[in-house]
Structure 1
Amino acid sequence: MAVSAEEIDHALDLFAGLGPLTTRKMFGGLSIYCEGTIFAILMSDGRLLLKGQGAMQDRFDAMKFERWDYKRKDGSATYMPYWFLPDSAQDDADEATALAREALDHL
């Protein structure tokens, strides 16, 4: 299932405070870029994730954000460098933008 136009508009509205954003559709979802740097993914199920690298990985973990993982055929987990945006930021553009800005500072 692909993301809807409404889900895309909502994600872009949440992060509008970052400045001009670009997007690219991928695997039924959407990657979101600020000044050419990918910082977020909108999954095909409508969930938003932020990219974390360096110190931001520890910060997201300390804030108890859920990390994106998937199971391999052998049952082992593979962790991706993305964390799900918390529920509190799903409808709060100030919180979402602040988290995204902090994540971008570490990319």
Structure 2
Amino acid sequence: MAATPDEIEHARDLFAALSPITTGRMFGGTALYVDGDVMFACLLGGTIWMKSDTSTEAAFTEAGARPFSYQKSGGTTVVPSLMSLPDSALDDPEEAMHWARLSYPPALKAAEDKRRQKARKAAKKAAS
């Protein structure tokens, strides 16, 4: 289900202290980007999901966050690289910013990895 304009506005308000936030479509939801291509959060199914990795997962879990998951024919797929924004931060921009700052390093690493992949593909295509 696509994020509603109100959900997007609420997320923008929570993370207003970040550099300008841009949005893009993602899996039927909305991705939230800073610095052009650094996706630090997304809105899917009415939930704000924050970028995570093994270095941040425990902090999210301890705060009551859960990993993104979805159903497919083989069962449930869990995606720990997206953790729900803890409920206590949903109406607290200061706390939400704590989680955004925690999400930024994994988001930046993912963006850098994507940039390298694109550069390799472009170089390979140019060479052929």
What TM-score, normalized to structure 2?
0.73
The answer (yes or no) to whether the contact 1:54–1:106 under 8 Å persists in 2 is: no
1:54 deviates by: 3.3
Q: Which runs of 4+ in 1 moved over 4 A?
A: none
Which structure: greater helix fraction? 2
Percent same amino acid among aligned pairs? 37
Q: For 1:78-105, what per-residue CA distance to the aligned partner results, in whole angstroms no more than 9, with x for missing partners?
A: 2211111121111111111111111113
- For residues 45-60 of structure 1, the aligned pairs below 5 Å read 45-60=45-60
Over aligned residue pairs, what C-alpha RMSD do you find?
1.6
Note closer, same or farther for the CA distance 1:25–1:106 as it changes in structure 2 (3 Å cut).
closer
The answer on whether the counterparts of 1:21 and 1:33 sit within 8 Å (CA) in structure 2 is yes
How many residues are aligned here? 105
Cα 1:53–1:92 change in 2 (3 A) is same
Q: Which residue of 2 aligns with 1:78?
A: 77
With over 3 angstroms needed to count, the CA separation of the structure-2 counterparts of 1:19 and 1:91, relative to structure 1, is same
Tell which deviates more after alignment, 57-66 or 8-17: 57-66
Of structures 1 and 2, the one with the larger relative CO (CA 8 A, separation 6+) is 1
Which of 1 and 2 has greater Rg? 2
TM-score, scaled relative to structure 1: 0.86
Amino acid at match of 2:43: L
Whole-angstrom CA distance in 2 between matches of 1:21 and 1:95? 18
Q: Deviations over 1:26-61 (max 9, x none)?
A: 343100011120010111x32111010230123223
Which residue pairs with 2:123 in the alignment? none
1:34 maps to amino acid: V
Structure 2 unpaired stretches of 5+? 108-128
Q: What is the letter of the counterpart of residue 38 of structure 1? A: M
C-alpha change, 1:106 and 1:3, in structure 2 (3 Å) is closer
Where does 1:16-27 land on structure 2 (aligned, <5 Å)? 16-27=16-27
Structure 2 residue aligned with 1:31: 31
